Chain A
Amino acid sequence: MPEQRLKIDFKRSGGVTGMQLTTCVDVDDLPEDEGQTVRDMVEQLDLEQMSQQPSGAGAPDRFVYELRIEQGERTVDVCLGEAELPEDLRPLVRDLEKRAKSR
């Protein structure tokens, strides 16, 4: 059975720099092992719960993370402040930050 389609739009805004980092990852375009790593990181997430978590009040110079995760037929939007980032989402965010920084 073929793997589900997985695509992630990522944006980090805010921070004292105010500079945005953005990237869009389509797992089908990644080398197989890299793609599997991203799939594994997404599999660990409770996307429904995450999408319903309210973004807290803005805090000076903290980052704001916005993710749109398209997995198979469903699309989930997540918008969270840095201080509210759940522990299990951090590895994916760190991975996406690195991809967004690569030239």
Chain B
Amino acid sequence: MCNNCRNPLYCIVPPIILDRIARNGNEGQRDRALRTLSRDHSLRMARLHMAELRVVIRRGAPTTGTLEQTCGNKRRTIYDAQNGETLPGVVVRPEGTDSAGDVAVDEAYDGLGATYDFFWETFERDSIDDDGLPLEATVHFGEDYDNAFWNGVQMVFGDGDGELFNRFTSSLDVIGHELAHGVTEDEAGLIYWREPGALNESMSDVFGSLVKQKKLGQTAEEADWLIGAELLGPEVDGVALRSMSAPGTAYDDDVLGKDPQPGHMDDFVNTLSDNGGVHINSGIPNHAFYLVATALGSYAWERAGRIWYEALRDPQLRPNARFRAFARATVTATSALYGPGGDEMKAVTHGWESVGIHI
């Protein structure tokens, strides 16, 4: 048996569903709720259906312990592209092995571990797909490569050019950002264009920042709310890639220009570059999250993070969702989690109103 697994059921059934199950109280009602959900044929619902089957299988074979053994266990593999662009590259650090002295390899290994632990300990989510997907990352990709990305299968990190950008494993929130792209793809599947794309980007910044905050044990007041603070090279005039607390203030540099992020819908940027400004207009939902988290205080992942996570998992949220649709999903999640008239609902509605999103 796996001692880390607190409740195997939590690995495979979303908390909102579990709330319903708990409220209904008996096994027959629980089964009906699960059957109702499985009528939807979306990917998410297909997975829920599989979850139901797994529960049934587990009930029928209680001594196998299979689910318990797979929940909450990291399965990381770090590869080295050796400055080429062939993926995944050479295996350099599988799960459970010691450091071989390569900083980028170790940062990727530890960063994936911290991100996995964040999703598991905070939301009982078992990896990117909530089904224990092994985590794979390649470091030393390309030559002087100024980027990191999620390609639908794995994470990829460049070394940076050493002038504008340091190695892309150096910021834990950027590692969390990349892994969160996988979570978003698995859940809402937000398309990577204009508003849904900016929402997709914002999800990655929100959960990336929360990974860092939890690792550092910071409250919302103590957090810096910066993305990629460690990435900027010595020649850049700036503090980070983005600021969630003050979008548009992260850098002002001769080569890179000024941080273009808006923090309010009045300043929404219409552009065809950057897939319709996905890294630009993400400043608006980023700032809404910051406002909600700081209004609620304490640890941001506990209430604000939970609300955002459940909204991302809302089956009503479509891949082409715009900011307002997501804001409404956060209201639905807040009501389900904390009730319709509490501090949480006030913080959420005020946060969105403050950035010009009228629910």
Contact = CB atoms under 8 A, between A and B. Distances in A.
A60 B189 CA distance: 11
A20 B261 CA distance: 12
Contact of A19 (B168, B241, B278): B241
Interface stretch (A7-15, A30-38, A44-52, A68-76): A7-15
Interface in B18-34: none
A14 B255 contact: no
B148 A61 contact: yes
B147 A16 contact: yes
Contact of A64 (B150, B185, B274): B274
Nearest to A62: B149
A103 B261 CA distance: 23
B275 A21 contact: no
Interface residues of B, number: 45
Contacts of B165: 17
A17 B173 CA distance: 12
A64 B181 contact: no
A26 B256 CA distance: 21
A21 B163 CA distance: 14
B164 A14 contact: no
Nearest to A102: B255
A92 to B, nearest CB: 16
B121 interface: no
A1 interface: no
B178 A11 contact: no
B174 A60 contact: no
Interface stretch (B36-44, B192-200, B350-358): B192-200
B181 A101 contact: no
Contact of B278 (A14, A101, A102): A14
Contact of B256 (A11, A19, A59, A62): A19
Contacts of A62: 147, 149
Contact of A60 (B168, B200, B261, B272): B200
A58 B174 contact: no
Nearest to B155: A61
B255 A16 contact: no
A16 B273 contact: no
A58 B193 contact: yes
A103 B147 contact: no
Contact of A17 (B192, B228, B261): B228
Contacts of B228: 16-17
A103 B255 CA distance: 6
A58 B178 CA distance: 15
Contacts of A13: 273-274
A59 B241 contact: no
A101 B133 CA distance: 38
Interface string B174-204: 1001100100010000011100010011001
Contacts of A16: 147-149, 168, 174, 177-178, 228, 241, 279
Contacts of A103: 235, 254-255
16 contacts: A13-B274, A14-B273, A14-B279, A15-B146, A15-B147, A15-B279, A16-B177, A17-B241, A20-B257, A58-B193, A59-B149, A60-B178, A60-B200, A66-B273, A79-B272, A101-B164
